Structure formats: structure tokens, C-alpha cells
């Protein structure tokens, strides 16, 4: 994890500017979904969950590569037409984390996505499912929420829990959870494994 690129200070730099560019107000509570493979990563249930718990200030940002037609229709059917912002893959993903209040990835399967660590390193709480490898670094009620169920009701409950958390404390805890995952630490652990394999 590049802890300099993904940093809580990005919020001061880019939060307002990014939101303005995306047409999202400063006051909105922004749920960000980042990733491709929309079905596997739980975009449908997330849209339903946002519809269940949506207040007038809740917005959903979807960033990633894939066919969006069915999901746009679902959002429109649930009355979220004007509450969802769609953007394709972006090279400046750190700006989207800076704009978000929570990153949600309620995936059916995900070995260990970079999204979990990138968001946490950026000081953003994460909602994920227990079926993801990233759930290992998300502490329920501390750095986000881990849902055992992929039902929209469970996801909505998780979002409510995150919204009720102290945002400053959650951001600090999120950053601390990502800090052990440096390139240097990875190299050291790999080297340790190689040394164990030496004859």
C-alpha cells in the first residue's frame, strides 16, 4: 500500500473540489463503490440498501468498469435516479476516496481487494462482507462494518452503523488499520519465506 498516495490529508486537498466536479454537494453523505465486476462485488444489493436507508442527503458514487444499464434501471425504479453518480475507472482514485464518507464493497467474493486498504489508508471507513479477504482488516464498529449477509437489509444496517460512528475516530482507526501494509513489510515477509525454503 502506498501510504503517501492514499492519505487522510487528501480530504483537505481534494474533497470539496472532487465533489464539485462530480455534482455532489458538500453536505451529502457519500457512499462510494469502487471496482469492476459489479455483480460479484455487490452493486445491486448496495443500491437496494441505499434506497432503504436513504435520507435526502445520501448519495451513491459508482466508479468502475462494466455494464451499468441494469443498475441504472434498478436505481431509477427505487427512486434513486438523481442520487447516484456514475463514473468509469479513474487514474486519480485517491480523489474519490477523499470525497467519500464510506466505501462500500459488499462482495459475494473478493480474495483481498486493494480497495479495502486504499480506503482505510485514506482514513475512510469501509463496509464489506464477511466473504472478502479485506474483511480481515475491517473491525466492525471501529473501522467500518462487516456484514455476514448480502441482503440489502443487512447492508443498510451496516451503513447506518457507520453513519452513527464518530467520523474522526473512525478515520483515525481506519488509517491505523492500513499502516502495517507497506511495501517494505511485504518484502520483509517474502524474504522470510524464501529464507525458510533455503536448503
* Model pLDDT for residues 20-48, shown as the tens digit of each residue: 999 999 999 999 999 999 999 999 999 99
3 occurs within a structural domain: no
1 occurs within a structural domain: no
27 occurs within a structural domain: yes
Q: Which residues fall within 8 angstroms of residue 144, CB to CB, at 6 or more apart?
A: 102, 120, 125, 126, 127, 128, 138, 158, 162, 170, 174
**Structural domain boundaries enclosing 55:** 10-197
Q: Which residues fall within 8 angstroms of residue 81, CB to CB, at 6 or more apart?
A: 75
The pLDDT of residue 161: 95
| CA 187 to the chain's CA centroid | 26
The pLDDT of residue 54: 64
113 occurs within a structural domain: yes
5 occurs within a structural domain: no
| Total domains, the chain | 1
The pLDDT of residue 189: 79
Question: Which of 49-63, 69-83, 86-100, 129-143 has the least mean pLDDT?
Answer: 49-63
What pTM did the predictor assign?
0.92
Instruction: Give the CA distances from residue 168 to residues 97, 161, 164, in Å, rounded to whole numbers and listed in that order.
Output: 15, 15, 12
**CATH assignment of the domain containing 67:** 3.40.50.2000
2 occurs within a structural domain: no
Predicted confidence (pLDDT) per residue in 136-193, tens digit:
999 999 999 999 999 999 999 999 999 999 999 999 999 999 999 887 777 787 888 8
What value does the mean pLDDT take over residues 72-78? 96
Kindly report the average pLDDT of the chain as a whole number.
93
16 occurs within a structural domain: yes
Q: Is the pLDDT of residue 53 over 80?
A: no
64 occurs within a structural domain: yes
In this structure, the dihedral spanned by the alpha carbons of residues 167, 169, 170 and 173, taken in order and rounded to 10 degrees, is: 160
Amino acid at each position: 500500500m502506498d501510504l503517501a498516495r492514499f492519505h487522510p490529508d487528501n480530504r483537505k486537498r481534494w474533497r470539496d473540489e472532487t465533489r464539485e466536479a462530480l455534482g455532489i454537494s458538500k453536505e451529502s453523505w457519500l457512499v462510494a463503490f469502487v471496482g469492476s465486476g459489479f455483480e460479484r462485488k455487490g452493486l445491486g444489493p448496495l443500491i437496494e440498501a441505499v434506497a432503504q436507508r436513504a435520507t435526502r442527503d445520501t448519495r451513491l458514487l459508482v466508479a468502475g468498469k462494466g455494464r451499468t444499464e441494469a443498475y441504472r434501471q434498478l436505481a431509477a425504479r427505487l427512486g434513486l435516479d438523481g442520487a447516484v453518480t456514475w463514473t468509469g475507472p479513474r487514474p486519480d482514485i485517491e480523489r474519490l476516496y477523499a470525497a467519500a464518507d464510506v466505501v462500500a464493497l459488499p462482495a459475494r467474493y473478493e480474495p483481498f481487494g486493494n480497495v479495502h486498504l486504499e480506503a482505510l489508508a485514506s482514513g475512510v471507513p469501509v463496509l464489506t462482507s464477511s466473504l472478502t479477504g479485506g474483511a480481515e482488516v475491517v473491525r466492525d464498529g471501529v473501522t467500518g462494518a462487516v456484514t455476514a449477509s448480502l441482503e440489502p437489509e443487512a447492508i443498510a444496517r451496516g451503513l447506518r452503523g457507520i453513519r452513527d460512528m464518530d467520523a474522526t475516530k473512525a478515520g483515525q482507526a481506519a488509517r491505523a488499520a492500513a499502516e502495517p501494509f507497506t511495501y517494505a513489510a511485504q518484502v520483509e515477509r517474502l524474504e522470510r519465506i524464501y529464507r525458510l525454503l533455503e536448503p
